[in-house]
Amino acid sequence: MKAQSSREGPPVEIFRSHSSIEAEVVRGLLATHRIESVVASALAPSVFPIPFGQAEFRVSVPSASAPAARDLIAGHLDEAAAAEVRRLSETLGPLEHRIGYNFRDLGLLEHALTHRSRAHEDASGGVMDNESLEFLGDAVLGFVIADLLFTRFPTHSEGYKSKVKAGIVSSASLARLAEDIELGRFVLLGRGEEKTGGRQKSAILADGFEALIAAVYLDGGVEAARAFIVSRFGPLIAAAGEHAAEAVFTEDWKSALQEWLQAHGHGLPVYRLAAAEGPDHRKRFDIEVLVDGEVRGRAVGRSKKEAEQHAAREALETLNRSR
């Protein structure tokens, strides 16, 4: 069979992708069916007045070949999509079982698990991290927890409900819930983050759990998200009804640590900011607590106060073990 010629009409664009590899795969597919094609690259449209954005790869064929080429690509992509669904089902199915929710769009779940370190290492620019989903999940979680507390404690003060809510949605609480479903096993990390133990880092686990909430919300709506949140946070809310909020969620570990140090002949603890990461509206503070010049505790929180409390608790536990 004779190959299609460029004399069969002006070129027509039939496919776009941010991945050069995907564009070349399409070109190869067309070549096996003797359809000539050309791949060109350009920056994707931008809202900025200066060129800015990801490279976009465009595949063009002679106009007479366009209908056949489009049908060929559509059939190929359907097969590729089916293969991708099978891959994701095998990889993420165990996590679906743990959380008790089956996704209609498993791509959302994969997106929720993609840490920025993985996205940064992707040369194609086609991998998105989970930070936007984390932002959305935080909002969905806050709304649902506030609604649950309003219903559960209708006569309690606003201050009480605020303290309970702050404890329930704290980074430490989210990280523990993430550990309960072994979320760290499924998080997609870059090589550098993997080597430094990213799967066990509380901040990554907490952020991933919020992104997971957003994925459930986008996939199944408010009721699905609410059901998931209730299944995970229900015991914490029940505990708040049995004990004072101050005792359950807002222990003053800094005071406890100071009293312990004074009782055992040590100087006052020193709290030091080790790092602050993330955008202004989603800062994560990494705090170290030093006792006699030695780091005895370290923790991450959404505020310096929260991080200091968790660091103080870790320091107190460390000191008690070393006695």
Q: Which amino acid is at 170?
A: S
Which of the four pLDDT bands, split at 50, 70 and 90, describes residue 78?
Answer: low
Block residue for tokens 């009782």? 263
Over residues 16-41, the mean pLDDT reads 76
Over residues 25-31, the mean pLDDT reads 80
For the chain, give the percent of residues with pLDDT over 70.
Answer: 81
* 44-68 confidence digits (pLDDT tens): 443 334 333 345 678 899 988 888 8
pTM to 2 decimals? 0.59
Averaged confidence pLDDT in the chain: 82
The reported pLDDT for the residue numbered 125 is 59
DSSP, residue by residue, 113-157: TB-HHHHHT-TTS----SHHHHHHHHHHHHHHHHHHHHHH-TTS-
- The more confident residue out of 309 and 250 is 309
Helices (H) and strands (E) in the chain, counts: 13, 6
Region of poorest pLDDT, from 147-156, 174-183, 251-260: 251-260
**Which of 131, 193, 210, 306 does the annotation list as catalytic?**
210
Give me the CATH code for the 100-248 domain, please.
Answer: 1.10.1520.10
Region of poorest pLDDT, from 155-169, 202-216, 289-303: 155-169
Cα–Cα distance measured from residue 214 to residue 37, given in angstroms and rounded to the nearest whole number: 40
* 121-173 confidence digits (pLDDT tens): 876 555 688 999 999 999 999 999 999 999 998 998 888 888 888 888 888 88
Residues in the chain: 323
Buried b (16+ CB within 10 A) or exposed e, 94-128: ebeeebebebeebebbbbbbbbbbbbeeeeeeebe
- The more confident residue out of 289 and 127 is 289
The reported pLDDT for the residue numbered 50 is 37
Q: Which two tokens stand for residue 125?
A: 């620019």
Where along the chain do its domains lie?
Answer: 6-81, 100-248, 253-322
The reported pLDDT for the residue numbered 73 is 82
The reported pLDDT for the residue numbered 242 is 56
Q: Give me the CATH topology for the region 6-81.
A: Alpha-Beta Plaits (3.30.70)
Question: Which CATH architecture fits 253-322?
Answer: 2-Layer Sandwich (3.30)
- The more confident residue out of 184 and 14 is 184
* 91-118 confidence digits (pLDDT tens): 888 999 999 999 888 878 988 999 999 8
**Which of 138, 207, 306, 314 does the annotation list as catalytic?**
138
Pair 4, 21: CB distance under 8 Å: no
Give the contacts of 167 (CB within 8 A, at least 6 positions apart).
Answer: 173, 236, 240, 245, 248, 249, 250
Active site residue 138: yes
Is 50 exceeded by the pLDDT of residue 8? yes
The reported pLDDT for the residue numbered 238 is 80
The reported pLDDT for the residue numbered 80 is 61
Pair 57, 17: CB distance under 8 Å: yes
Q: Do domains 100-248 and 253-322 have the same CATH topology?
A: no
- The more confident residue out of 231 and 246 is 231
The reported pLDDT for the residue numbered 246 is 40
